[in-house]
Structure 1
Amino acid sequence: MTASGPEPAHLKRILDLRLLVLFGLTFVGPTAPFPMFGIVSSMSRGHMALAYALAMVCMSLTAYSYGKMATVFPTAGSAYTYAQQTLHPLVGFLAGWVMLLDYVLIPLMSVIYLSLTAQRFFPSVPPPVWLILFSSAITVMNLFGLKVANRANFGMTAVMLGVVVWFVAAAVHALHAGVGAGVLLSTRPFYDPATFSLGQVMSATSVAAYSYLGFDGISTLAEDARDPKRDIGRATVLVCLCCGVLFILQAYLGQLAWPDFTSYPNTETAFLDVSRRVGGDQLMLFVSIALVVAGVASAVTGQASASRLLYGMGRDRLLPSLFAYIHPKYSTPTYGVLFMGAVTLVCGFLLSFQLAAEAINFGALLGFMCVNLSVISRFYFRDRQRTGWSFFGNLLLPAVGFAVCLLIFVNLSRTATVIGCVWVTVGLVYMGLRTRGFRNNVPIPSFSD
């Protein structure tokens, strides 16, 4: 009789619907438009609210597709698994690879913005100190597992929502008193014939879509969820819609409070100046605090999602197997967390906030298109669910979601396209070496559903 070895560590199912929604809200961040305000407002030529509304349409349709696929493949791989199992193993690898770019840049952007904000208030402290401090703190939080992260998420989300409510109330009061446009009802944030440009709005929409990123990260927690087939889809759609309403409201009021998109003192921190205009130095201070909280929250949840995507690809032998290691006590993909922490720190010294903001949606939009195509492939063609509502849910809605994502994708900046293409090329070279010039099959695990 042989003694069996210890059971390998695995992710623990501790997240219910409430905690999944909390994770998604924290990852997306109720204050997500704050750091993007100056960039999106300038790019859209004063049509920030329209850009966020268009981005919400795209994200909501894709959120529906994520929910559909999660009922069939409740695993940590997310878009990578969906495309791998329904389209082609190589397409699955590329979907995971480009989404990895997305998840690398999300915590990176948060750390860069945290450093910019901290430097504005403590100019005597060198920027590298802030980069090292924030990168290290975020990595340590994730090493101790989702229970610790969720406790922090609850407090951080409460702070962010409180500041959003304060800003909305202050902006309404200020507009009523004649500040900025001096009106509460106006079509200008959605359409101003004097400055409207469809090309500029679409380019801005591709950047505004960044603010919604995080709803898709919920699907990477499928192996942490108690009932992933039921709750992953619900949480994904709920988070996307709730954040969409909040984002459009913030963009609308902010644009009316500061109508001249060409006059921001500093584009990257423009929302601080908007908040000062409507609520004085006190509101600006609390917005600054909220931005720090949001940056930490987004970085923590982004790093958690990235480490689980690395875990799924490492477990399937598409990436080094060390990424599949789970800490036996904390139930975290330790090496994935450490790797993401190192990448964030190094890239923080190499990339600017705006460059990362432009590049981030390349991977996200390609991944979203793969998820929409996966719904059509799986449900409409393989399972032949084509009658009644199934025609709309399994073909029309994901097809429209794909088309909208594609429209935003082709309007990405040249910088984003170049960075994305380089990233895809690196992935293809890696897989070419892994499969000896594609003579061997791309590794694909068995998956019974």
Structure 2
Amino acid sequence: FFALVFTGLNIQGVKTSARVNAGLAAGMGVVIAIFFVAAARYIFGNPHDGAAFFTRPFYDPQTWDTKLVLGGTSLAVLTYIGFDGISTLSEEAENPRRNILMATVLTCVVIGLLSALEVYVAQLVWPASEPFPNVDTAFTFVAGRAWKPLFAIVGFTLVVANFGSGMGAQLGAARLLYGMGRSNALPKKFFGAVDPKRRVPRNNVIFVGALALAGAFLLPAIAGAATGYELGANLLNFGALIAFMGVNAAAFVRYFVREEKKKLSNFFPPLLGFFICLILWWNLSTKARIVGALWMAVGIAVGAWKTRGFRGNLIDFELPPEES
């Protein structure tokens, strides 16, 4: 159902998708604000054991397990990835050199701060020592404890959030495939085509929608003990973390190795970013790493074939000139 709705809306054009997402974001922002107010009233309206109560979500010696923390973090990375996908819409943006960069950074910062604060407050409302009736809908139970009506409100909001994230992800993926098709990294006749009326890569939108629909049935079948969602999230993080490692490695080579003046400010940040991503990548599920490695091998093989052994350029992205 979701795959069909996302595909239908995205085919209508970028402006339609943008308007829908703006409305969804505004509604979800209101719900987040209500949750924080309700959670604060609950926390300060009930007795607790002093300062230790507020630090326990960060570290509890009775329940701390480094392996579980890293494994959970590797899965939670899914919350933060995707901000870089904004760059795929550079051709639709006004003054893209400025606005795309600003939107990407602001999205990363806002998501990071909000998600961290939400999880922290949620653990104060529902401590980790208490099991959830259903871990897949944990946040709805947290919200319901803070204020009973929020159980249904947050549950509905999570469904709405799927529309926003799903539409954005599909459109970003379709635009990326369009860029690859236009540069002949993929068959140009199919992936490089644009609907003359809606000005969207319709073939790619439909292709991504069909792939998502197939994955909804396939992933649960191969997930085994894990859930299909968990395996899918790990597979997404597999590719994202490798990409981020590549970005940090490229930044290290470009701004430290090749620069005449060696600055520590160009040395530590990319190395730190690379190794953090490497640790998180290593703690992904074994099945996700195996499936991801096979998929990456297919991509490398296709790239080698298209470039005749990587002797030519696979793809070339160009930003439009900055507006004065």
Give the alignment's TM-score, normalised by structure 2.
0.87
| 8 Å Cα contact 2:90-2:100 kept in structure 1 | yes
| 8 Å Cα contact 1:189-1:256 kept in structure 2 | yes
**Pick aligned residue for 1:422 from 294, 307, 311:** 294
**Pick aligned residue for 1:368 from 244, 248, 251:** 244
**Pick aligned residue for 2:215 from 347, 354, 373:** 347
| 8 Å Cα contact 2:185-2:315 kept in structure 1 | no
Partner Cα distance (2:77, 2:316) in 1: 34
1:320-339 to structure 2, matched below 5 A, reads 320-321=187-188, 322-339=190-207
1:191-202 to structure 2, matched below 5 A, reads 191-202=59-70
Alignment size in residue pairs: 310
Identify unmatched segments of 5+ residues in structure 1: 1-132
1:135-150 to structure 2, matched below 5 A, reads 135-150=3-18
Percent identity between the two aligned chains:
39
Cα distance change of structure 1 residues 435 and 249 upon mapping to structure 2, 3 Å threshold? closer
Superposition deviation, residue 142 in structure 1: 0.8
State the Cα deviation string for residues 151-182 of structure 1 (Å, max 9, x = none).
11111001111111111111111122228989
Partner Cα distance (2:260, 2:196) in 1: 42
Aligned pair 1:441/2:311, yes or no?
yes
Superposition deviation, residue 358 in structure 1: 2.4
Cα distance change of structure 1 residues 406 and 185 upon mapping to structure 2, 3 Å threshold? same
Partner Cα distance (1:341, 1:448) in 2: 26
Partner Cα distance (1:356, 1:291) in 2: 18
1:127-138 to structure 2, matched below 5 A, reads 133-138=1-6
Cα distance change of structure 1 residues 302 and 411 upon mapping to structure 2, 3 Å threshold? same
Partner Cα distance (2:127, 2:152) in 1: 22
Superposition deviation, residue 269 in structure 1: 1.2
Partner Cα distance (1:217, 1:224) in 2: 13
Identify unmatched segments of 5+ residues in structure 2: 220-227, 320-324
1:57-206 to structure 2, matched below 5 A, reads 133-178=1-46, 186-206=54-74
Question: 2:223 maps to what in 1?
Answer: none
Superposition deviation, residue 214 in structure 1: 2.1
**Pick aligned residue for 1:412 from 284, 287, 293:** 284
Cα distance change of structure 1 residues 313 and 395 upon mapping to structure 2, 3 Å threshold? farther
**Pick aligned residue for 1:257 from 119, 125, 136:** 125
Question: 2:233 maps to what in 1?
Answer: 357
State the Cα deviation string for residues 234-277 of structure 1 (Å, max 9, x = none).
22121111111111111111112111456211111121222211
The structure whose RCO (Cα within 8 Å, separation 6+) is larger is 1
State the Cα deviation string for residues 330-387 of structure 1 (Å, max 9, x = none).
22111111100100111111221122122221000001111122223334455x3746
Give the alignment's TM-score, normalised by structure 1.
0.64
1:2-41 to structure 2, matched below 5 A, reads none
Cα distance change of structure 1 residues 348 and 444 upon mapping to structure 2, 3 Å threshold? closer
RMSD: 2.4
| 8 Å Cα contact 1:136-1:341 kept in structure 2 | yes
Partner Cα distance (1:137, 1:385) in 2: 53
Cα distance change of structure 1 residues 296 and 448 upon mapping to structure 2, 3 Å threshold? closer
Partner Cα distance (1:404, 1:138) in 2: 33
Q: Which amino acid aligns with 2:279?
A: L
State the Cα deviation string for residues 168-215 of structure 1 (Å, max 9, x = none).
111111122228989895111110011112222111111111101221
